[in-house]
Amino acid sequence: MMYEKKLERARKLQREQRGLEEEYHGEKLYEPSLEDELEKGDIFALVLSAIFTFLPIAIIALVGMILLACLFFRINLF
């Protein structure tokens, strides 16, 4: 994973801020990694949902900027 080290540092800082110890009576507590929490098709579903969420917004913004530029520069599209 790209940001695994940063994620681990952030989790460690959160544990320290909450006052949780890394060890419990000499035994390390089990902390599931991100891979343990994800199922088989979760990454694909996350990417697909991000595309379906942000792509229409980007298209609307692009069309708006084009129409604004046409209005500003008095360009006839039709």
Q: What is the pLDDT of residues 20-33, one digit of tens each?
A: 555 555 566 667 77
Closest by CA position to 12, among listed 2, 22, 3, 4: 22
In a domain, 71, yes or no: yes
In a domain, 32, yes or no: no
Structural domain span for residue 77 = 54-78
In a domain, 17, yes or no: no
Max mean pLDDT range (7-21, 22-36, 37-51): 37-51
Q: Which long-range contacts (CB under 8 A, 24 or more apart) does 32-36 make?
A: 34/1, 34/4, 34/7, 35/1
Q: How many independent structural domains does the chain possess? A: 1
The Cα–Cα gap between 12 and 31 comes to 11
pTM for the predicted model, two decimal places: 0.49
The Cα–Cα gap between 23 and 1 comes to 25
Residue spans of beta strands (DSSP E) within 17-78: 23-24, 27-28
In a domain, 12, yes or no: no
